[in-house]
Each structure stands twice: as structure tokens, then as C-alpha cells.
């Protein structure tokens, strides 16, 4: 695109009566040029509407000024929040952002990673579904920050999934629930693995029974499909892999006329906007989505700044953000049916 005839650095140089290099310097290393001439250059540039050609600059600097972001599914509100965080951070640092959606397909990740690699300075790879080996095989050795995934020796931003599950289980245990079902997300999701682990630990610690329900797609339909199993499991509470799945559960349970939370409690994870607004609202484990995105970009940029330092044995950066159980006022979680009047003092299991 670009206008009729975009002004080049030469035009500015001529107009300001200086050389190209002076213009270049005036624009990128201001302190190296005389304030007076700098003013002249800036004036000329503004007047001509000059904007450096990024391709030309990139050709010589080897940097594109672009970042890439790969997510499994843009239509999941969790990821759109992450996108917003990444976008904001990129914009702040004057980077443009390529965004790609893999539609939850692992193979697309590697493909996109490969395609993107040449056009960006760095990539945020969010919640990848591919196995470690495949990921490492790609050009991943470069400036790639993982989100919601940890791979040995790779920079990453994660959240404390296990602790989130701990909070959820302890909350339920305190309410007298003794049998909890977990609707698992994708087998290939690292976060899901972490959550399962956290759940098992906390279930043991609180003496709670944990029922594991198959792997379901992390979508509304997944929850719909899992609802009947959850009901049949004998659990008095269900924790869903994420809020979207939890909404699916709610929907199907409603359709079957099952009162939530009176008969069964439902918990989500992620704290997407809508979870606060359903009826009943969703008690959920909140994850700092935007902040995670920002943190990933920050890490990426510092990686780019350091450059070789990383290779020189500097430690691999990692950042783990906290999770926080959000208990809503009117919520899909209630004391266990048989405890409704007991005041919540469990005799079995401790709160550790």
C-alpha cells in the first residue's frame, strides 16, 4: 500500500540539506547529532510525512519490528484476553503483531511456527498442543517464549495451576464435598496435566474422592458432553478444565432439569468475563490472562535485547503467575447436599 509516492530518507536529506546518514542518526540516535540540525531534519521529515521503510531497515538490521503470537483458538475468551495483553505490550514497544490461530490442531503449530519465524523477531507460543520434541525441532531455539507450557531450557510464562486447583478443592472440601469430578481438557494440554496433578495432591491432602472424567475438547460442547457423566459419577461437585467447558456443563445440566448448585456444584477455571454473568455465576480459578500476555512480551523483548547473552549461559527466564479462586455471590457452588445444614464441619479429611 503506501501513499502515491512515499518520501524516502533521501528526500528528507535533500530537504534538510544534510546527508542520509545524518537523517538516519537524527531519527534513531538523536544524541549523536547537533540539536540544531536535528531540528531541521525533524521538521523536514514531518513536513514530507516521512516514515522509514521497515523492510529496508529490517534488511540491514536483521530485525523486523514484528512479533508473532500463536494460540489454539481465538474464539475461546481465555485466548482473546491473552491476545489483548500481548497486543497491548507489543504496541507499547512499537512492535506489530502477527496473530495465528491453530484451531486446536497441533500440526498447525509447527507449520505456523516455521512460517512465522522468518518474519518476526520473536514469538509467543501460547498453550501449544504439540509434544516437546516436535516443538524443539523447529526454529524454537530462537526467541520463542512459551505460555502455559514449560519445556526444559526454554523461556516460559506459566501460572500456578496446581495451587489454583488446591484452592478449589479446599473450598469444596470445606463445604463438605467428599466426591469431586474433574472434567479434563485436552490430553495434549500442559495446563491440564498440571491441573490434574494439583487436583490429585489436594484431593489426597483433604481426603476427598476425585473422579477423573475422560478428555474433552476445551469447548462448550465438551462440557455439554461431560455433564451426564459428571452426574452419573456420584460427585457432588464438578471442576471443569475451563470456564467454557463449565458453561457447557451448566447448560446441559439445566436442560436436564438438574438444579445447580443444589444438586451439584460446578466450578470453572480461567475467569473469563462471562463466568461472572451467568446465572448462577461461576465460581472459578482466576488466571491473569492479560498480564500473562504482557509478561510474555516483556520476556521476549528482554531476550531480544540481550541477544547473545542467553547463549553465553545466562539462565533461562521463567515467570510463574499466581492463580486465585474467585467465589461469586450467587454461584454455582454450594455446600454438599448432605451437608446443607451441617455448617460445613467435615469430620473426614482435614483442610491440611
Partner DNA sequence: ATGAAAGCGCTAACAT
Partner DNA sequence: ATGTTAGCGCTTTCAT
Contacting residues toward a second copy, per CB under 8 A: 1-3, 6, 51, 53-56, 58-59, 62, 64, 66, 74-75, 77, 80-81, 83-84, 87, 96-101, 103, 115-123, 139, 142-143, 220-221, 224, 247-248, 251, 254-255, 273-274, 277-279, 330
Strand-strand pairing, 144-147 and 122-126: parallel
Q: Are the C-beta atoms of 51 and 4 separated by less than 8 Å?
A: no
In the bound state with DNA, the residue whose beta carbon lies nearer, of 22 and 275, is 22
Count of helices and strands (H, E) across the chain: 13, 12
CB of 141 vs DNA, minimal distance in Å: 19
Return d(Cα 13, Cα 305) in angstroms, integer: 30
Q: Is 22 a binder of DNA (CB under 7 A)? A: yes
Rg (CA), the chain: 26
Separation in Å, CA 36 to CA 30, 41, 46, 96, 261: 11, 9, 16, 32, 72
Q: Is 24 a binder of DNA (CB under 7 A)? A: yes
Give the binding range for DNA (CB under 7 A) out of 9-17, 105-113, 186-194, 195-203: 9-17
CB of 1 vs DNA, minimal distance in Å: 14
Q: Is 18 a binder of DNA (CB under 7 A)? A: yes
Which one of DNA, a second copy, none is in contact with 8 (Cβ closer than 5 to 8 A by kind)? Answer: DNA
Q: Which of residues 32-91 bind DNA (CB under 7 A)?
A: 32-34, 36-38, 50-53, 56-57, 59-61
Q: Which of 231, 229, 197 is nearest to 213 (CA)?
A: 229
Q: Are the C-beta atoms of 262 and 105 separated by less than 8 Å?
A: no
Residues that bind DNA (CB under 7 A): 6, 8-10, 17-22, 24-25, 27-28, 32-34, 36-38, 50-53, 56-57, 59-61
Amino acid at each position: 500500500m503506501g501513499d502515491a509516492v512515499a518520501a524516502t530518507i533521501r528526500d528528507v536529506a535533500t530537504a534538510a540539506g544534510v546527508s542520509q546518514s545524518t537523517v538516519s542518526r537524527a531519527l534513531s540516535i538523536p544524541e549523536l547529532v547537533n540539536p540544531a540540525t536535528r531540528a531541521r531534519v525533524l521538521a523536514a521529515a514531518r513536513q514530507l510525512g516521512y516514515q522509514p521503510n521497515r523492510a529496508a531497515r529490517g534488511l540491514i538490521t536483521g530485525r523486523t519490528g514484528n512479533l508473532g503470537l500463536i494460540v489454539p483458538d481465538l474464539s475461546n475468551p481465555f485466548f482473546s484476553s491473552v491476545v489483548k495483553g500481548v497486543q497491548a505490550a507489543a504496541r507499547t514497544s512499537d512492535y506489530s503483531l502477527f496473530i495465528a490461530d491453530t484451531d486446536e490442531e497441533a500440526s498447525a503449530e509447527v507449520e505456523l511456527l516455521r512460517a512465522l519465524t522468518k518474519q518476526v523477531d520473536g514469538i509467543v507460543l501460547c498453550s501449544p498442543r504439540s509434544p516437546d520434541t516436535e516443538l524443539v525441532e523447529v526454529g524454537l531455539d530462537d526467541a520463542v517464549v512459551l505460555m502455559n507450557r514449560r519445556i526444559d531450557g526454554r523461556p516460559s510464562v506459566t501460572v500456578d495451576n496446581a495451587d489454583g486447583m488446591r484452592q478449589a478443592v479446599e473450598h469444596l472440601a470445606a463445604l463438605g464435598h467428599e466426591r469431586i469430578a474433574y472434567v479434563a481438557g485436552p490430553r495434549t494440554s500442559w495446563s491440564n496435566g498440571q491441573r490434574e496433578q494439583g487436583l490429585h495432591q489436594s484431593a489426597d491432602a483433604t481426603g476427598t474422592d476425585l473422579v477423573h472424567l475422560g478428555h474433552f475438547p476445551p469447548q462448550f460442547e465438551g462440557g455439554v458432553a461431560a455433564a451426564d457423566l459428571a452426574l452419573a459419577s456420584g460427585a457432588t461437585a464438578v471442576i471443569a478444565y475451563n470456564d467454557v467447558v463449565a458453561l457447557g456443563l451448566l447448560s446441559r445440566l439445566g436442560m436436564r432439569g438438574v438444579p445447580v448448585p443444589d444438586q451439584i456444584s460446578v466450578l470453572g477455571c480461567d475467569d473469563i468475563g462471562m463466568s461472572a454473568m451467568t446465572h448462577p455465576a461461576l465460581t472459578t480459578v482466576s488466571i491473569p490472562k492479560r498480564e500473562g500476555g504482557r509478561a510474555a512480551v516483556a520476556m521476549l523483548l528482554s531476550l531480544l535485547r540481550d541477544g547473545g547473552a542467553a547463549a553465553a549461559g545466562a539462565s533461562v527466564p521463567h515467570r510463574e503467575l499466581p492463580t486465585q479462586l474467585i467465589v461469586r455471590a450467587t454461584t454455582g457452588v454450594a455446600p454438599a447436599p448432605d451437608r446443607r445444614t451441617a455448617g460445613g464441619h467435615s469430620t473426614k479429611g482435614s483442610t491440611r
